[in-house]
Structure 1
Amino acid sequence: MTTIGIVGAGAAAAAATYVLDTAVPDAEITVFEKSGGLCGRAATRRNDDRNLVYDYGANYLKSDDERVVELVTETLSDEGMVDATEPIHTFEADGEVEPGRDADEHKWSYRMGLTQIAKRLFGGTDATVHRRTRVETIRREQGNGDGTDGDEKWSLVDADGTEWGPFDVLLCNPPAPQTAELLADAEWESPVREALRAAAADVPYRSVWTAVLHYEFSLDRPYYGLVNTDKAHAVGWISREECKAGHVPDGESLLVVQAGGEWSTAHYDDDPRENVAALADHAADLVGGDRLADPDWTDHQGWRYAIPEDGVKRGPVDSAADEGFYVLGDWVVGEGRLHAALANGLDTGERVAHRL
């Protein structure tokens, strides 16, 4: 039996798992996720007391890749899918809002939130997903020692000291800096390891600090979202969750306010209450209305490794794949968007299936 280990349960890992389960039907696939959720930064929370559903990381799925569109609208059930049809407007450092950007053709989510993508992908397979299992050590081990192709195996050790494996191939889905940390401590005697570690460590990332602001009144605005185009404002993005059917009760509003990279880095470890208050003030200025500075309920989340701003060098990635170690995610292609992560997962799954 072929065994496949996957570290991380982000969107790319979910897509790769789905491909491998179909293409290598005899494979035993085991996924290890350090958190309690699925789909990485495409994250959803619920507040059942207020009947709220909100995507507080990635905001929506674009229809920029034909394979991804086919995957979510045809291969998987599109039941419960929603589309925010309002356009996206822009603003620069002066905070003046302009209808300056064409809306994406589709801005998809689900009534239950974007995490439905990973839940449906993993749910359509026989893979075993271990949540709240933090992998701390990667090991490359010899089999019978004769050096024949495919003889080497992989194993993993989690934070509790439990060893998992052996695996014929290993896929690694965490953000590049976390992948680099795993590789730094990996028991893998090969120059390929250090080359890939250095390449992953070189991928630049933008941090994002997010405030979620709820109001018991509706907002009449001609847009779904506002995006800062010159990266010179404290806020990088604001979206209205009420534009997604089923996310916010009628007559109420929920703003997802994501700070820009410089502001997020400077204030990442500040008191969350102060950060939320500051971002609420900015939302009031941008969206308009002093009462937006005083939300009746809030939430927040920091993403230290939110958005890759470049891709990884292909040479080390390909060399590692030759030894049965695959990295995948939006940072591999250098585009911090959900559709890019899913597309890379499909590509990686097909590549691993071809090897096996």
Structure 2
Amino acid sequence: MRLAIVGAGVSGLSAAYALRASKSVTQIEVFEKSRGFSGRAATRRKNGASYDHGANYFYSEDPLIRDIILNQLPTDGLVVISKPVFVFGESGEITPGDLERDRGEKWVYQPGISQIGKLLVAAVPAERIKVHFEKRVASLERAERSARWTLVTTTGDRFGDFDGVLVTAPAPQAAGLVCSGSVESWAEAGSIKQALGAELALGTYNTQITFVLGYDKKLTSELPYYAAVNTDRKHDIAWLSVEDDKEGHVAGGNSVLIVQMASHWSTANYEHSLEDLLPSVTNKVSVLLAGDQWKSPSWSDVQKWRFALPNSRIDTSRGIFATSAAQHGLFFTGDYTAERGRVTLAMAAGLQVASKIEEFAK
């Protein structure tokens, strides 16, 4: 079986990893719209610093996930963030959080959290997997006579003859792929494509803007926490963390803050530029951290996540997903199948869908 995976996020790459020795799925091609692996588990490098501007760390108590991370994949560069996560409410007072809840290890890689996707792909034999970067898939087509799928990109490129397709895009984008494509047998059935698209469209997400603030001074040494999270969702800042606390990310003598804004603020300001928003953000940070030194970063960066965190779950293991879609070799996975945006939950979702693809391929 030849399998196409739309998106190089953690869930899709985990599926590829699970199928690395499959006797039925022998060829996998991954199509990624950007230039890197791991989706929202993303890392950038600027001014000598590495920083994770989406997911900040990962951890799991799931024995299988732990075994993959700690035993099956290389652990060179895998480090633990030692400081705790504190909390704050609408007032902005930062206090110790639930230390019992925060007792789990906070994992990250020295090169950055995106390393997890690279390791998953590297574990698949090179002759079994091919990755296409900067290929944004616009629609899916399937001819009933050949029972093969074709992927059409936004530039008109066509990649075909796939027996199955795994879509890992956020649910609203997955709905667009389904509804814009052509599946001959679905056209005859009348409403299957529309029903599948409608189910996927029910997946909703929080929008989030992430700001990265770099300082040419060490300003974070006295902070007793690695990160602070807003627990009542009433503050304009949802999350603030210190990238210096990740071994190998920031050179000595410098500091880097990750500031993720709340969904209500991010939605209202999504169309504005970094230059327009930066003064307001640095002011909010200086108030939260009680110091004017935070108002003047040496450099900054921004990432806008339209589909940052799912706030609803779609069960793709039943209903039309398990019948009409799966019977045609079309599968779906992503953080929206787990409801919460967690790296290890996305991994688990990828492993689960891999077993369904294996059953289809036999």
TM class by shorter-chain length? over 0.9
The farther-off stretch of 7-16 and 64-73 is 64-73
Q: Percent of aligned positions with the same letter in both sequences?
A: 36
Check 1:25–1:81 CA distance in 2 against 1; reply closer, same or farther (3 A cut).
farther
What are the ranges of 5 or more consecutive residues in structure 2 without an aligned counterpart? none
Give me the whole-angstrom Cα distance separating, in 1, the residues matched to 2:157 and 2:41.
29
| Structure 1 residues 228-247: Cα deviation after superposition (integer angstroms, max 9, x where no partner) | 00100100000100010000
Report whether the alignment pairs 1:231 with 2:233. yes
| Structure 1 residues 22-53: Cα deviation after superposition (integer angstroms, max 9, x where no partner) | 22376111110011111101100012xx3200
Q: CA deviation at 1:115?
A: 0.8
Secondary structure at the aligned position of 2:21 is classed as helix
Give me the whole-angstrom Cα distance separating, in 2, the residues matched to 1:193 and 1:211.
39
Alignment of 1:327-346 (within 5 A): 327-346=332-351
Q: CA deviation at 1:193?
A: 2.4
Letter in 2 for 1:32: F
Q: CA deviation at 1:280?
A: 1.4
The farther-off stretch of 312-321 and 208-217 is 312-321
Secondary structure at the aligned position of 1:21 is classed as coil
Letter in 1 for 2:57: Y
Residue equivalent to 1:164: 159
**Do 2:16 and 2:354's aligned partners in 1 also have CA atoms closer than 8 Å?**
yes
From 255, 262, 269, the counterpart of 2:257 = 255
Check 1:206–1:324 CA distance in 2 against 1; reply closer, same or farther (3 A cut).
same
Alignment of 1:73-112 (within 5 A): 73-102=70-99, 103-112=102-111
Secondary structure at the aligned position of 1:22 is classed as coil
Residue equivalent to 1:9: 8
**Do 1:157 and 1:164's aligned partners in 2 also have CA atoms closer than 8 Å?**
yes
Check 1:231–1:161 CA distance in 2 against 1; reply closer, same or farther (3 A cut).
same
Residue equivalent to 1:54: 51
Letter in 2 for 1:212: V
From 272, 279, 282, the counterpart of 1:280 = 282
Give me the whole-angstrom Cα distance separating, in 1, the residues matched to 2:249 and 2:130.
30
Residue equivalent to 2:308: 306
| Structure 1 residues 234-271: Cα deviation after superposition (integer angstroms, max 9, x where no partner) | 00000100010000112221100000000000001112
Letter in 2 for 1:81: L
Letter in 2 for 1:177: P
Report whether the alignment pairs 1:322 with 2:321. no
Q: CA deviation at 1:98?
A: 1.1
Alignment of 1:141-180 (within 5 A): 141-143=143-145, 152-180=147-175
Residue equivalent to 1:147: none
Moved over 6 A (4+): none
**Do 1:328 and 1:345's aligned partners in 2 also have CA atoms closer than 8 Å?**
yes
**Do 1:64 and 1:339's aligned partners in 2 also have CA atoms closer than 8 Å?**
no
Give me the whole-angstrom Cα distance separating, in 1, the residues matched to 2:327 and 2:79.
41
Give me the whole-angstrom Cα distance separating, in 2, the residues matched to 1:273 and 1:318.
47
| Structure 1 residues 183-234: Cα deviation after superposition (integer angstroms, max 9, x where no partner) | 1201024243222211111111000001100112221111010100010010
Residue equivalent to 1:149: none
**Do 2:203 and 2:310's aligned partners in 1 also have CA atoms closer than 8 Å?**
yes
What are the ranges of 5 or more consecutive residues in structure 1 without an aligned counterpart? 145-151
- TM-score for the superposition, normalised by structure 2: 0.92
**Do 1:5 and 1:165's aligned partners in 2 also have CA atoms closer than 8 Å?**
no
